[in-house]
Structure 1
């Protein structure tokens, strides 16, 4: 029932749909993201690998995915890949390009209001939340939750954008709720390529996620821990990145050795 309201085009039904969303606690930004994603499904838009990642949000010609023979016609088709659709939906919702990036960058965004692990299932989710699949190191798919166990997604080459049942099995990783408002906390930019975050503030700790390039990150706190020498720098300060649940040596965070304005983890009561 909820999905039919979301997909309706008649003004009266749209008004009822907005009322249902309001009763569920869905905010205006989430509602607009759902509407924008469903509008592209209704328009029968193609999945195209790399589509939606132009200079501005919106459908673009795709590219050939060297790992997928079904993508051979993607350069001839205007459409979205999974993260391109999410980028477009939330740009329409927020009025600005707040989720420009691939699935992993969108999940780990500094604009996260909440995250929900796979073990939580659908119970805590609201329409507009983003569902992701993969591992912490490689999140390869993302979709917009519509409610009632349904999602809008750009799934694979050779298909159109679609509404699907949420797939909770396999490598479903969890979900993130987006806050389109001002970014809170202490935000810095990393530098370098292939820089790993760690489960603990030590180079020997388990790897969590590798930044493909310079990335904006939210730093929760910092602490003095293992002394690290890398790329001509030596430092014992480590930053805790709450969006990743991981640590990163301050060597790869742009700024001085001890980041200004960021509290000591001992004082902040953080990990």
Structure 2
């Protein structure tokens, strides 16, 4: 039997629902997502773009599902969990071929593909950090202060970035960390081999975008073959060029050229010999 007080409460609730105005309902739908509690997987600070929030949601759904880390997981023909491979350097990875899951960059790839509907971050940690879809970049010395949820945190060196994770805010990140563990939320590890962070541009890319050719092509800190190495393109890579200039004459692979291009996403130079197109790139301004 329903108590009278319960029946009255139910009637009042129904009347309240019926009297809600369309404007009130719309306002409720437009309200920002609730901040996740400390330790939860979610958006833990304001300021993230809609796409970044969606990427975090996609990654956190995999955490909630108890998905495993698995070496090379998530690097199939399309974004999504795959069976991994045995990492010859990690004894804990012997079961990775039996586990459906992601490695660090596989998770990032999947999260942003779910967020944007396009496979915009297909590649390893280095290619994701150096993506031509860079909106902003932050050094390790800047710490967490300028970061927003959805930024990518990279670990390693400029020429060997071995780990990448998604920042949640409040000093937390979601990551596929290592064999033998499941996807997790962790405290951001500053110091050590923390290299820096990048904010992903999920919209239209501005500026000249070109394609490199060759394998193992090094970018340099200065337009010179003797300058320090920054990063080597493992194969043909799409890059954004800011400007070009005449500098050291280089002969390689049957070509000779003194033109070098500055790549802002790498903060480095590359000889135009290894950029597809004419020796002096069309539509690219001269560096000041």
**TM score, norm. by length of structure 2:** 0.85
- 1:235 is matched with which residue? 257
Q: Which secondary structure state, in structure 2, belongs to the residue aligned with residue 184 of structure 1?
A: coil
Superposition deviation, residue 206 in structure 1? 1.0
- 2:148 is matched with which residue? 126
Paired residues of 2:44 and 2:169 also in contact (CA < 8 A): no
C-alpha separation between the residues in 1 aligned to 2:174 and 2:62? 9
C-alpha separation between the residues in 1 aligned to 2:169 and 2:228? 35
- 1:56 is matched with which residue? 78
C-alpha separation between the residues in 2 aligned to 1:50 and 1:15? 32
Q: Deviations over 1:110-131 (max 9, x none)?
A: 1110000000111001110100
Find out whether 1:248 has 2:253 as its counterpart: no
Residues 57 and 25 of structure 1: CA distance in aligned 2, closer, same or farther (over 3 Å): same
- 2:19 is matched with which residue? none
Q: Which secondary structure state, in structure 2, belongs to the residue aligned with residue 210 of structure 1?
A: strand
Gaps of 5+ in 1: 1-10, 267-271
Residues 15 and 246 of structure 1: CA distance in aligned 2, closer, same or farther (over 3 Å): closer
Superposition deviation, residue 17 in structure 1? 3.5
Find out whether 1:71 has 2:71 as its counterpart: no
Q: Which secondary structure state, in structure 2, belongs to the residue aligned with residue 75 of structure 1?
A: helix
Q: Which secondary structure state, in structure 1, belongs to the residue aligned with residue 58 of structure 2?
A: helix
Q: Which secondary structure state, in structure 2, belongs to the residue aligned with residue 152 of structure 1?
A: strand
Q: CA RMSD in A?
A: 1.8
Paired residues of 2:53 and 2:149 also in contact (CA < 8 A): yes
C-alpha separation between the residues in 2 aligned to 1:31 and 1:121? 21
Residues 23 and 197 of structure 1: CA distance in aligned 2, closer, same or farther (over 3 Å): closer
C-alpha separation between the residues in 1 aligned to 2:199 and 2:208? 19
Q: Deviations over 1:163-191 (max 9, x none)?
A: 00000021000100011112221111111
Gaps of 5+ in 2: 1-28, 37-41
- 1:143 is matched with which residue? 165
- 2:34 is matched with which residue? 16
C-alpha separation between the residues in 1 aligned to 2:114 and 2:251? 44
Superposition deviation, residue 27 in structure 1? 1.2
C-alpha separation between the residues in 2 aligned to 1:14 and 1:28? 10
Q: Which secondary structure state, in structure 2, belongs to the residue aligned with residue 217 of structure 1?
A: strand
What does residue range 22-101 of structure 1 map to in structure 2 within 5 Å? 24-101=46-123
Superposition deviation, residue 140 in structure 1? 0.2
Paired residues of 2:56 and 2:150 also in contact (CA < 8 A): yes
Superposition deviation, residue 24 in structure 1? 2.1
Number of aligned pairs?
A: 254
Q: Which secondary structure state, in structure 1, belongs to the residue aligned with residue 34 of structure 2?
A: helix
Superposition deviation, residue 70 in structure 1? 1.0
**TM score, norm. by length of structure 1:** 0.91
